[in-house]
């Protein structure tokens, strides 16, 4: 038997391929699949949320323990008192609790289990009680329109999808998960504004100063964080003003100063 000297042929076991091109194709397919999956799940979510009654919602929420939702939440009697003035206008089967959280970015959000969070940064920007009532009214609007359920469902969808990617790219999704709880669609924000006005009129007796905070937000760059979740203030102010005129809400009242400094 004769031995033949032979060099290994690299093209057999490690064929040269354009790795970048392959990766690009895979990423594109994965991206499209992810988007389709995400939007179909969201459509399903909307379908379900629209059919949930407030009573069913209460039962559903009681199944999940939301207690340590925010680490630095603080109860505040003044905020709660204002909230309690507006809640009878909603007829929700669960009670709404309003908390202050010690965060600098001005923001406010409605969370499942009937909790409203207003950041310290936001409270410091508020100049009178009317504006504060406006904010609470707006957040109550999210409860009324079940936006908090949509937000929760959305977070769950993202968490579910991130499970698939957990092994390799889990970290990518953490950021989006944290932000998603405060992100509602622009339409939801408009509707919450409109509802906020009606709640303000119903529980507080007037809608004075309901748009002034937004007007101040319109200029000034410290609102960038808030702008990300609540875009387009100009059209929101316009819509609110049109609604006030159309419904004939009370604008003839004095501005009430804040009873407590934040």
Residues engaged in binding other proteins (CB under 8 A)? 1, 3, 5, 7-8, 10, 13-15, 17, 19-20, 22-23, 26-27, 29-30, 164, 167-169, 171-172, 174-175
Taking the least distance from each CB to other proteins, the nearer of 22 and 238 is 22
| Helices vs strands, H then E, count in the chain | 11, 4
Smallest gap from Cβ 52 to other proteins, in A, equals 33
Smallest gap from Cβ 75 to other proteins, in A, equals 32
Taking the least distance from each CB to other proteins, the nearer of 168 and 221 is 168
Taking the least distance from each CB to other proteins, the nearer of 9 and 252 is 9
Smallest gap from Cβ 43 to other proteins, in A, equals 23
How far from 170 is each of 153, 159, 164, 166, 225, CA to CA, in Å?
19, 10, 9, 4, 24
> What is the separation of C-alpha 85 from the centre of its chain, rounded to a whole number of angstroms?
24
Backbone phi, psi, residue 75, to 5°: -75, 150
Phi-psi region of 228 (alpha: psi -120 to 50; beta: other; left: phi over 0): alpha
Smallest gap from Cβ 220 to other proteins, in A, equals 22
Which residue, 191, 78, 75, is CA-closest to 133? 78
Mode of pairing for the β-strands spanning 97-101 and 115-119: parallel
Taking the least distance from each CB to other proteins, the nearer of 12 and 63 is 12
Taking the least distance from each CB to other proteins, the nearer of 13 and 221 is 13
Smallest gap from Cβ 7 to other proteins, in A, equals 6
């Amino acid at each position: 038997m004769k031995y033949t000297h032979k060099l290994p042929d690299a093209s057999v076991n490690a064929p040269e391929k354009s790795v970048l091109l392959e990766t690009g194709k895979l990423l594109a397919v994965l991206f499209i699949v992810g988007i389709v999956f995400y939007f179909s799940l969201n459509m399903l979510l909307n379908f379900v949320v629209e059919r949930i009654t407030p009573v069913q919602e209460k039962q559903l929420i009681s199944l999940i323990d939301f207690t340590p939702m925010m680490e630095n939440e603080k109860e505040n009697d003044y905020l709660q008192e204002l909230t309690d003035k507006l809640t009878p206008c909603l007829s929700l089967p669960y009670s709404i609790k309003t908390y202050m959280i010690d965060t600098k970015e001005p923001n406010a959000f409605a969370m499942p289990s009937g909790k409203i969070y207003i950041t310290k940064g936001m409270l410091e920007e508020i100049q009178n009680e009317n504006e504060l009532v406006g904010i609470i009214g707006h957040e109550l609007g999210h409860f009324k329109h079940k936006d908090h359920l949509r937000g929760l469902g959305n977070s769950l969808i993202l968490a579910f999808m991130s499970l698939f990617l957990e092994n390799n790219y889990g970290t990518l999704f953490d950021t989006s998960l944290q932000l998603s709880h405060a992100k509602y669609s622009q339409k939801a924000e408009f509707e919450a504004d409109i509802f906020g006005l009606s709640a303000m009129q119903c529980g507080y007796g007037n809608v004075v100063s309901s748009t002034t905070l937004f007007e101040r937000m319109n200029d000034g760059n410290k609102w960038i964080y808030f702008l990300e979740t609540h875009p387009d203030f100009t059209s929101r102010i316009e819509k609110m003003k049109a609604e006030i005129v159309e419904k004939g809400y009370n604008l003839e009242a004095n501005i009430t100063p804040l009873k407590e400094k934040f």
